[in-house]
Structure formats: structure tokens, C-alpha cells
Amino acid sequence: MHLTLRSACAALALTAAAAASAQQATLNLYSARHYQTDEALYDNFTKATGIKINRIDADDAGILARLKTEGASSPADVILLVDAARLWRAEVDGLFQPVKSKVLDSRIPATLRGKDDGQGSQWYGFSTRARVVVYDKVKVQRSDVDTYQELADPKNKGKLCTRSGSHPYNLSLFGSMVEHLGPEKTEAWLGGLVANMARAPKGGDTDQIRAVASGECGIALTNSYYLARLLRSDKPEDKAAVEKVGIVFPNQNDFGTHVNIAGAGVAKNSKNKEAAVRFLEYLAGDSAQNYFADGNNEWPAVASVKLNNPALRVMGDFKSETVPVAAVGMNQVKVQQMLDRVGYK
């Protein structure tokens, strides 16, 4: 009888262990990254650890809305977002749980981490991209567009092209400008951008670069990695486009160029925190950091990683701004109100 009970208990223990092992073998990743080049990044993690990644893809806003709807029943283990203000929003809404990791703290700069109340950081940044200006090298002088403020100057009337003002990439830039210029001057600046538009905002960042190359616009805002993609392309039309445009990292003589962050944290209700932290530490490793740089033309968050990407090397070093992520996030509601008042679509 005792042997039977012991056998039964042992069987139950093995079943529980197997269930726990099965749970740990799969990591649920809610990701706003939609880059095909990331597939190898995830595959390499699985090969190295045996942990399969089950990915749910959506944009930043869609992921945040889904997490709020799911609440405590959410299966998410890791939340990966591509905008600093959205990382801040997720932090404020309590969607992350703090992480203490010597690996992450030693490799990711404090400026690229979320709030830490002594229990660990809410999230970590793993790559960055700059909000740069591209210009028509024939029709526009570089010195006329070497600050964000000059984009609103009357000398550039009829030359500017952008995507929607309400797109997260622009909202984050505008939120940082509130910190640099103050609310009143920022709203006046946004009004100047509208006055200088060559056409109504539309399309994505690559469309803005092509519009400058085609002569439709004289200047445009774009994230750096979109331009890097064209610089590395073998397509004749892409080569022709990049030959016609110049690139400026604005405000190098004062507050620096606006930089946005792609980052991740462990979901508040993760049932698999150990594997989730392991994934974050993997993203901070040299191989993953090189993949961010080589695969998607982003700057790695780890300063010691050597750049092999020729397009990033061509762009060169630049001074980036140091505005706190929380400030950029908190400014976005007032920025959206400013956009509505000045008619920035």
C-alpha cells in the first residue's frame, strides 16, 4: 500500500515537473517589431536555449490595448515596443514587472532603462534610431536645415514633407521639443512646419525620402534606419534616390538629435519570468546587438558592440539628446492638442 502511494506521488511529481518544463519551453512575446530580419534573431534564441517563442504581432497601441483587455489572464511573458513614449505608457499603466539583472544593468545604459524603485527596472532599451533630416542636395543648403527649428523657418516654405504628425515617431520628436523649447514655442514651431509643407502629410518615412529624391519635396523627416536600408540596397532605383539626398543629424551644436528607443520588459502577469528575463539578457548579448545593427540598421544599445553595418558607419557619429523618456511620454497629450490647433494632420 505504501509503495503504491509512493509510486502515485512520484508519478504526480513527474507530471507536475513535466508540465512546468513544458510551460518554460514556450515564451509568449507580444511584439510591435514587424521587421522580417528579426526572424533569425528569435530563431537563434530558440536554438541556444530550447525555448520556443510564440509571437503576437501588433503595433504599439494595439499591444497596449490588448494587454489592458486581457488583464491578469494575459499569457504575455515579454512586451517588446518600438517607441519610447509607448514604453513609458506601458510602465505608467503597470503592464511591466520589475527586473533585477546584473547582465542587463552592466550592459544597458541607465538612460535606456525604465523606472527603478529599488526592485529593478521596468524595461530596457535594446536599440535606438535617430530622427534625421534628409534634403535635396541640389536645391537645399545643408546649413538651412541643420536644426529642427529651421524646418519651420519661412526660408523653407513649400519644401517640407512628413508622415502624419500623430504617428508615434513624430509625436516622440515633438514631445522632446517641448522639453527643449517650451510649450508656447513648440506650438509656434509646429505651426511653422504646417506652413512650410510641400503637400499634406502622408505615407511612411521611406516615402518621404523618395519624395525628396523625386523633387516633390526639398526636405523631410525620417528615422535613420529607413535611409540606411536604401543605402544598403542593390536596387538601381534605391541607389539613384540616395545619391540625390543628403542627411543631417540636427542640433549638433546644442541639445542634439532626437533618438527613439526599441525596448522590452517582462509582462506583469508573466507565468514564466525566468525565461522572460533570459530572453531580455539574450537581447543584450553581442550577437543580438549586432543583429539589431546589421539586420535592421539600428544603433545597438550596448556601447561596446562594434558596428559592422556600412550604412551606419557612413552616417558617422553624432550627438544625441538626453531628454528623459518619461518627459517625452507625458508631453504627448499636450502635443496632440497642439497638432489639432495648428492643423497638422
Question: Do the beta carbons of residue 342 and residue 194 sit within 8 Å?
Answer: yes
Which of 9-13, 33-37, 241-245 has the least mean pLDDT? 9-13
Query: Is the model's pLDDT at 20 over the cut of 60?
Result: no
Q: Say what the pTM is.
A: 0.87
Q: pLDDT tens-digit profile of 76-98?
A: 999 999 999 999 999 999 999 99
Q: pLDDT tens-digit profile of 127-146?
A: 999 999 999 999 999 999 99
Higher pLDDT, 17 or 315: 315
What does the pLDDT read at residue 38? 82
Query: Is the model's pLDDT at 4 over the cut of 90?
Result: no
Task: Tell me the HSE value of 194 on the side-chain side, using a 13 A CA sphere.
Answer: 16
Q: Regarding the domain with residue range 27-127+260-307, which homologous superfamily does it belong to in the CATH classification? A: Periplasmic binding protein-like II (3.40.190.10)
Which sequence spans correspond to the domains of the chain?
A: 27-127+260-307, 129-258+319-342
Q: pLDDT tens-digit profile of 237-259?
A: 999 999 999 999 999 999 999 99
Calculate what percentage of the chain has a pLDDT beyond 90.
86
Return the number of other C-beta atoms located less than 10 Å from residue 64's C-beta: 20
Cα distance between residue 335 and residue 172, in whole Å:
9
What does the pLDDT read at residue 9? 40
Q: pLDDT tens-digit profile of 158-181?
A: 999 999 999 999 999 999 999 999
Q: What is the mean pLDDT of residues 222-231?
A: 96
Cα distance between residue 66 and residue 279, in whole Å:
22
Question: Do the beta carbons of residue 78 and residue 266 sit within 8 Å?
Answer: yes
- Write down the mean pLDDT value for the chain: 91
Confidence of residue 35 (pLDDT cuts 50, 70, 90): confident
Run of H or E residues at 254: none
Class of domain 129-258+319-342: alpha beta
Confidence of residue 37 (pLDDT cuts 50, 70, 90): confident
